[in-house]
Amino acid sequence: MTEHLHAEVERLRHALNEANYRYYVLDAPALSDAEYDRLLRRLETIEAEHPEWVTPDSPTQRVGAAPAEKFERVEHRVPMLSLTDVFDDEELAAFDERVRKLLGVDEVDYVCEPKLDGLAIELVYEKGRFVRGSTRGDGLVGEDVTRNLKTMKAVPLRLRAPDVRQLREVPELLEARGEVLLFKDAFARLNAQREEAGEAAFVNPRNAAAGSLRQLDPAATARRPLTLFIYEVGESSAAFSTHWEKLEALRALGLRVNPRNRRCRGLAAVRAYVRETADRRNSEPYEIDGIVVKVDSEDSRRRLGFVSRAPRWAVAYKLPPQEEATVVESIDVNVGRTGALTPVAHLAPVFVGGVTVSNASLHNENELRRKDVRVGDTVLVRRAGDVIPEIVQVVLTKRPHGAMPYEFPDRCPVCGSAAPRPEGEAIARCVGMACPAKLREGILHFASRPALDIRGLGEALVGQLVEKGLVRELADLYDLSREDWLGLERMGEKSADNILAALQRSKQTTLPRFLDAIGIPGVGEATAKLLAQTFSDVEALEAADEAALQRIRDVGPALAGEIRAFFAEPQNRRSIHRLLEAGIRPAAVARAARGGVFAGKTLVLTGTLSRMTRDEAKAEIERRGGRVSGSVSQKTDFVVAGDEAGSKLDKARELGVAVLDEAAFLAKLGDDRG
């Protein structure tokens, strides 16, 4: 039995390593996320029962180390050298001429590679196992970031058995060198998350990659979408005759090598590669700032040697910067579809990153203050690919006399409603229910299933209602006649009748659904239920002060302030009263349970339960005094994990949150349905 189980462990490790290789190196996934999670959970279960079988290169060991107090120093066996920069074709030709003259040849084979804008690292493998990872540092001494690199699934913990002409077995020692980076789309998502959380946005992907890898807590690194490309070898027990053979061997060992690398015969081919790379620079998924040109022959490299701390056999051809200077002509605030107020700088048009830029987002008030952008300032603007243009920094030496800080509005510039910014948050939001800037989104939320569930009222239809001016606030939906609906595009008589019937049904709703539907900032399904269990009707909630609101579980000072500001806005009170006058009757609900097995507890549901739907499970939890949250945190008391549970289960284990499988959950409910 033990031998059979041990064999299963090896099969699971192989399957998971193969899945990581195909997903993160080949970009060709072989397993679904659910299947990957299932295999990983099975391996975790077996290793928990047999901790003596756990190995450092097991897929389960990527995350879990405690935060470090500092990074240890690592001395590189072979220095990680910097490269000499060249900036134009003339300097590139001079490099080629020097190489040919020193080697005494008429033409040289080069390998050209995109110069990645990330953080240089070294991965050390002994007998195929990843044993240490470090940053470049000053080239001689770096920092030990082994635990953080192990969290990256693009870093194989065990090398694959190669099958290429130049390498038939895994080397006893291999120091693989490369670049840790963030792809542009991942960088944009990361900054959006940071802004939503009130944190400062990263200036560029390189800073984000460096900051992510140098987290003292490996779990923090694991949450960042880092990847890497390997492009060189330090010390190795394997010998190679050319750099191109070396790259092929690295790829065969399971390390990620850039598919854009190219072997070029002579200067003309290098020039062609430079032109192609410059042309597609904006369409690449990652930032590049140049092209690395390396002599291919390893013997020629040894003959060429080094000068100072740079090799004579390689240069970095730097592409023109994608930053330009321009002047801020004005600053306005845009209101997004969710009511978020975003400052935007209007610029003197400047050509940067392949397009003419005249506007740049300043993201939020915090960023505006941090960068201290003022009208009349000269600023550096960056644009790369499809990334929205951004102001990198102000050129303070060129600031005009008398330039004043921008005064951020406290009311919505579109509808005039209050636009508070809760304490500790970065984004101010308009609270106006009838604000034209957020009307479409407001109607769609109002009609959504968790709210008033108005079937058939989708995006296309809502778009027509707003564009034609038929609906200027939510209550207008109930004033539309059958003829109004029939006048819309692609609206037949049956569809019109169905919409009218759905609107009529929506009038009979519950107070929690109504409170969710009207879009109170910070109030979703769960909080709406708590409010409805405390206040008997809308009028009672409208009259409640912040002290009364804060007596409700999970309603702190910030949320209480948002709720109070929402109901203090005259526009909102008028809109709510119009809805009630239209015939909506929000039914009161029972008071919150004070007892029960989950009284005062917060639970998270993940995966699929076989005995009940998620809505039924949620109702059972709330009936027993509990609250259901959509995300796992330190405040979570239980995670209920059904089949194919995913990242929430991983987060629970990471934080040490108690996990209930379906049987344990039903036992706590005292299920008696057989």
Q: What is the DSSP string of 124-187?
A: EEETTEEEEEEE-TTSSEEEB-HHHHHT-TTS-SBPPPP-BTTBSS--SEEEEEEEEE--HHHH
Mean pLDDT, residues 396-418 taken together: 92
Lowest mean pLDDT of 29-33, 247-251, 428-432, name the range: 29-33
Higher pLDDT, 321 or 116: 116
pLDDT of residue 216: 75
Residues 657 and 674: their CA atoms lie apart, in Å, by 29
Write out pLDDT tens, residues 252-299: 999 999 999 999 999 999 999 999 998 888 888 898 889 999 999 999
pLDDT of residue 401: 93
Write out pLDDT tens, residues 592-634: 556 678 888 889 998 888 888 887 888 788 778 788 887 888 8
Mean pLDDT, residues 40-55 taken together: 78
pLDDT grade for 385, boundaries at 50, 70 and 90: very low
State the amino acid at position 204 in one-letter form: N
Tokens 């099969």 map to which residue?
Answer: 11
Mean pLDDT, residues 373-390 taken together: 79
- DSSP, res 21: I
Compute, in degrees rounded to 10, the torsion defined by CA atoms 472, 475, 476, 480.
Answer: 160
Tokens 């108690």 map to which residue?
Answer: 658
State the amino acid at position 348 in one-letter form: A
Label each residue of 551-589 as H, E or C. Answer: CCCCCCHHHHHHHHHHHHCHHHHHHHHHHHHCCCEEECC
pLDDT of residue 592: 55
pLDDT grade for 350, boundaries at 50, 70 and 90: confident
pLDDT grade for 28, boundaries at 50, 70 and 90: low
Residues 445 and 428: their CA atoms lie apart, in Å, by 20
Residues 205 and 90: their CA atoms lie apart, in Å, by 30
% of the chain surpassing 90 pLDDT: 44
Q: Are the C-beta atoms of 206 and 117 separated by less than 8 Å?
A: yes
pLDDT grade for 34, boundaries at 50, 70 and 90: low
Beta bridge partners of 390: 361, 382
**Could you tell me the two tokens for 671?**
């299920």
pLDDT grade for 68, boundaries at 50, 70 and 90: low
State the amino acid at position 608 in one-letter form: T
End-to-end CA distance of the chain: 34
Chain centroid offset of residue 466 CA: 32
Write out pLDDT tens, residues 425-479: 778 889 999 899 889 889 999 999 889 999 999 888 998 999 899 999 999 999 9
pLDDT of residue 178: 95
Mean pLDDT, residues 650-668 taken together: 89
Residues 289 and 356: their CA atoms lie apart, in Å, by 20
Q: For residue 510, which of 624, 622, 673, 435 has the smallest C-alpha distance?
A: 622
pLDDT grade for 673, boundaries at 50, 70 and 90: very low
Residues 215 and 221: their CA atoms lie apart, in Å, by 6
pLDDT grade for 353, boundaries at 50, 70 and 90: low
Residues 145 and 122: their CA atoms lie apart, in Å, by 10
Q: Is 115 a catalytic residue?
A: yes
Residues 542 and 209: their CA atoms lie apart, in Å, by 47
Mean pLDDT, residues 376-393 taken together: 77
pLDDT of residue 538: 92
Residues 130 and 17: their CA atoms lie apart, in Å, by 13
pLDDT grade for 386, boundaries at 50, 70 and 90: very low
Decide: helix, strand or coil at residue 351. Answer: strand
pLDDT grade for 5, boundaries at 50, 70 and 90: confident
Position 310 pLDDT exceeds 80: yes
Q: Are the C-beta atoms of 389 and 359 separated by less than 8 Å?
A: yes
Q: For residue 100, which of 270, 354, 340 has the smallest C-alpha distance?
A: 270
Lowest mean pLDDT of 38-52, 279-293, 478-492, 626-640, name the range: 38-52
Position 23 pLDDT exceeds 70: no
Position 304 pLDDT exceeds 70: yes
Number of C-beta neighbours around residue 216 at 10 A? 15
Write out pLDDT tens, residues 219-243: 778 788 899 999 999 999 999 999 9
Q: Are the C-beta atoms of 632 and 657 separated by less than 8 Å?
A: yes
Q: Are the C-beta atoms of 561 and 545 separated by less than 8 Å?
A: no
**Could you tell me the two tokens for 289?**
């700032």
- DSSP, res 23: I
Beta bridge partners of 177: 122, 232
Mean pLDDT of the chain: 86
pLDDT of residue 465: 93
Mean pLDDT, residues 530-534 taken together: 87
Lowest mean pLDDT of 95-104, 157-166, 570-579, 637-646, name the range: 157-166
Lowest mean pLDDT of 5-19, 323-337, 365-379, name the range: 5-19
**Could you tell me the two tokens for 502?**
């759905």
Residue of 70, 101, 115, 318 marked active site = 115
**Could you tell me the two tokens for 402?**
């008398």
Q: For residue 605, which of 634, 584, 579, 626 has the smallest C-alpha distance?
A: 626
What domains, with CATH codes, occur in the chain? 2-61 (1.10.287.610), 84-318 (3.30.470.30), 323-398 (2.40.50.140), 436-587 (1.10.150.20), 602-669 (3.40.50.10190)
Does residue 266 come out as left (phi exceeding 0), alpha (psi in the -120 to 50 range) or beta?
A: left
Decide: helix, strand or coil at residue 594. Answer: coil
pLDDT grade for 590, boundaries at 50, 70 and 90: low
Largest CA distance in the chain: 93
Q: For residue 256, which of 234, 228, 232, 294 has the smallest C-alpha distance?
A: 228
